[in-house]
Amino acid sequence: MEGGPVLLVVSPLTRTLLTGSLLFHRLLDRGVTIKVVIEPACVEVINAPHDIVENLGRAPAEAFGEALAVLQAHDAPDSAVALLKRMEEAAKTLEANWWFKPLGPDNLPRRVLDSESSKRKACIRKQLKSHIAECGPCTRVYIVGHWGVLRTLTGEAHAKNLECRALDGFLSDSEV
């Protein structure tokens, strides 16, 4: 096992389930222990005309069924399918309607890309610390989220899709 176990934290949206299984299945092939967590805090949060259904989410059974069909249709490696199955198992802790937040005076549609980013960053940090405490020691934590999540975590306005970043100090108590 090279480098010790890793924690793979994945947003429960279909495109991140696919991205996570296609990018990290090679770790399984190399014998790396992967601890998998499905984390709604890492979901893109932007109410805009594009991709609105994906931003809202769907029932885990639907998302995983669709992701598996895509992997199978494109002859993805067996290890990618195996990792997706591990993600599906990890998602069993999600509520069936995890994404649904009824509208109300305190929850109205809004463009949230730039609002409440420090609150979202603190929430992601808290969730990651909780997952690490539950899963035990790991050498690395990978978050498979969306560009808006990377923007939230880095504060950079021009975060890109499929970007890998080291966020040194993100989990330390001195980091805000």
> Could you tell me if 77 and 25 are in contact, meaning their C-beta atoms sit under 8 angstroms apart?
yes
Residue 122 has pLDDT above 60, yes or no: yes
- Asked if residue 58 lies in contact with residue 95, where contact means CB atoms within 8 angstroms, the answer is no
Q: What is the pLDDT of residues 48-97, one digit of tens each?
A: 444 444 446 778 888 999 999 999 999 999 999 999 999 999 999 988 78
The pLDDT mean for the chain works out to 81
Q: Are 144 and 19 in contact (CB under 8 A)?
A: yes
pTM: 0.82
Task: State whether the Cα torsion 121-125-131-137 is positive or negative.
Answer: positive
**pLDDT at residue 52, rounded to an integer:** 43
Distances (CA, A) of 152 to 42, 148, 175: 10, 6, 14
β-strand partners of 7: 35, 141
**What strand order describes the sheet that includes 34-38?**
34-38, 6-10, 140-144
Minimal CA–CA distance to 143: which of 39, 46, 14?
39
Asked if residues 22 and 76 have their Cβ atoms less than 8 Å apart, the reply is yes
* CA triple 34-37-38, angle to 5 deg: 135
Share of the chain above pLDDT 70, in %: 80
CA 175 to chain centre: 21
Reported as a single tens digit per residue, the pLDDT across 12-50 is 988 899 999 999 999 999 999 999 999 988 887 654 444
